[in-house]
Amino acid sequence: MINLTINGQNIQVEEGATILEAALKADIHIPTLCYLPEVQAIGACRVCLVEIEGNRNLQAACVFPASEGLVVHTNSERVRLARKFSVEMLLSNHPMECLTCARNLNCELQKIAEEMGIREVRFTGEKSEGYIDDFSPSIRRDQSKCILCRRCVTVCQEIQSVSAIFAQGRGFETKVEPAFDASLNDMACTFCGQCSLVCPVGAITEKEDIDEVWAALADPTKIVIAQDAPAVRAALGEEFGYPPGTLVTGKMLAAVRRLGFDRVFDTNFTADLTIIEEGNELLKRVKEGGVLPLITSCSPGWIKFIEHFYPTLLTHLSTCKSPHQMLGALVKTYYAEKAGINPKDMVVVSVMPCTAKKFECNRPEMNDSGYKDVDYVLTTRELAKMIRQAGIDFRNLEDDIYDDPLGEYTGAATIFGATGGVMEAALRTAYEVATGKTLENVDFTAVRGLEGIKEASVPIEGIGEVKVAVAHGLGNARKLMEKIKDGSADYHFIEIMACPGGCVSGGGQPIPVNNEIRRLRAEALYQEDRSLKYRKSHENPSIKRIYEEFLGTPLGEQSHHLLHTKYTARSRF
């Protein structure tokens, strides 16, 4: 242990701790901007400067190691002026568009400027050249707002192993962008949106579809149908002041209905359906000697990743569409017929924790109903904005429930939102379907939690040991792909989610996100799972009914047409 003094307070920390970590331990707040716990500490922004006795220069607390006997001041006149100077320099090259910015009231730069009491920016002069890249359906970049903190670069490169953006040029001309001044839309970007989660300002956000959805809701000729992904209910509350991990399913459904949606279905219904289809696909491949390991296909960021970086492994992917695309296709066929609505008058809006799903719903193959299966995708953040725009008092809403017949779901479906959830749901069903016996303990805890790659082996009578793996974050996915390529992956089934933590911390979720928040949101979903009457997908009565009334058998002709898809090999460049 190391002893040091910060602001006259004696503090003990482990060897290797930084001054920032030591201060945090003593509840001393040091402002930071480029620093991102668990991801990046580079001392670039000069906002966390502190004074260290015996050091001529001020030092960045996020990178300066604590050492024995150090005497640190975090609140001296010199420190305050230096920090203020750093922030004023940033502001001198920042468009002062706070009122019209997507991150208004949730911007780290704005917050720091306020904390430091900056009332004027003393420096004026040339500003960096700015432009807007909104060519992709998922991500919007406003280069003029970028403060070059490089959080997005680090997340994209080190966590996701994608490197779709990088610092280009040098000095005043530096821009964080793809090569050749290209749009993200033209590069090997997965649209996972993790960059938009870590951006401290409004330089990277989702591409909003709010106006389009309002227009559909206002159109009396349209029947507008919403569906909500499981991860949304575990995080939406944070936008309305609830602590992370508060489950707001009932209020969310009530709010969506008050926005004017004509029907509110649940993506969890088709999560259950995915388990039936994918489970049968797995059993078929195992029995008939098909391509193994089978890999899940629910995460569109992951799909675009494998299309760009491992196109030779596309045959490993399950052909199942992601659950919300299945639901879109069923709404405009099965439900349209049942309710006597012309599918051309239907507008399907998916509320997702995800930016990649905006790209996915625009893929040309997602028109199997004869119409665009899902018309718009809103992120959790966008839904929260619409709720605020509509003046809905979220906290005082009475709980509502989803509509039939595409709303009923099991606990197996709701845990899709956490890493390992799809695998756990699949194991619950695979076990019972393959053995005909009842599973006593449905909790497969080995596939839960935030470890990057999780492995498990489950004995299933009649099949033997079923070996599975779960990866979240594309860097971890890449490791598994390399194992498949070199032949050392002897798994039957792999679950991959593009975002670290799974959908609960997807690119469209409330900001901020860290491991503690990931854990709490996942726990909310496991809590919902435990509270539900049915916890295995094949027990869902509405699922049984849709096979009887419409789909026939799993992997049958109708399923093949509406619920399954194909993939596109893409270039790395």
Partner 1 sequence: MAVENQCCCTQTNEAELYPELEKIIAEHQGKPEDLIMVLHKAQNLFGYLPRKVQEMVAEGLGVSLNEVYGVITFYAFFSTVPKGRHSVKVCLGTACYVRGGQRVIEKIKKELSLKVGGTTEDRRYSLDVVRCIGACGLSPAILVNDDVYGRVKITKLAEILERYE
Binding site for partner 1 (CB under 8 A): 157, 162-170, 178-180, 187-188, 572-573
In Å, what is the CA distance from 296 to each residue of 288, 300, 305, 328, 556?
Answer: 19, 10, 13, 19, 19
Element at 368 (helix H, strand E): none
CB nearer partner 1, residue 40 or residue 410: 40
Catalytic residue among 206, 360, 495, 528: 360
Q: Which two tokens stand for residue 121?
A: 């920016």
499 labelled catalytic:
no
177 labelled catalytic:
no
CB nearer partner 1, residue 380 or residue 476: 476
Q: How many residues does the chain have?
A: 573
CB nearer partner 1, residue 158 or residue 337: 158
* Nearest distance from C-beta of residue 552 to partner 1, angstroms: 46
CA dihedral 424, 427, 432, 434 (to 10 degrees): 170
CA gap 397, 406 in Å, rounded: 23
Residue whose C-alpha is closest to residue 300's, from 284, 318, 322: 322
* Nearest distance from C-beta of residue 273 to partner 1, angstroms: 37
503 labelled catalytic:
yes
CB nearer partner 1, residue 97 or residue 181: 181
Residues 6+ positions from 409 with CB-CB distance below 8 Å: 266, 268, 269, 271, 272, 532, 540
CA gap 188, 161 in Å, rounded: 11
At residue 40's C-alpha, the angle toward residues 45 and 129, to 5°, is 45
* Nearest distance from C-beta of residue 123 to partner 1, angstroms: 22
* Strand stretches in 368-450, DSSP E: 376-379
* Nearest distance from C-beta of residue 461 to partner 1, angstroms: 44
CA gap 165, 507 in Å, rounded: 16
Catalytic residue among 107, 298, 361, 499: 298
Is residue 134 helix, strand or coil?
Answer: coil
Catalytic residue among 278, 408, 424, 528: 278
136 labelled catalytic:
no
Catalytic residue among 107, 146, 156, 503: 503
318 labelled catalytic:
yes
Catalytic residue among 357, 358, 454, 536: 357
Residue that is written with structure tokens 């992370």 in the block: 244
* Nearest distance from C-beta of residue 479 to partner 1, angstroms: 14
86 labelled catalytic:
no
In Å, what is the CA distance from 319 to each residue of 88, 170, 420, 559?
Answer: 53, 45, 19, 11
281 labelled catalytic:
yes
Residue whose C-alpha is closest to residue 312's, from 572, 502, 114, 544: 572
CA gap 246, 434 in Å, rounded: 36
* Nearest distance from C-beta of residue 180 to partner 1, angstroms: 7
* Nearest distance from C-beta of residue 174 to partner 1, angstroms: 8
Residue whose C-alpha is closest to residue 260's, from 329, 213, 325: 213
Element at 121 (helix H, strand E): none
Q: What positions carry a catalytic annotation?
A: 278, 281, 298, 318, 357, 360, 365, 503
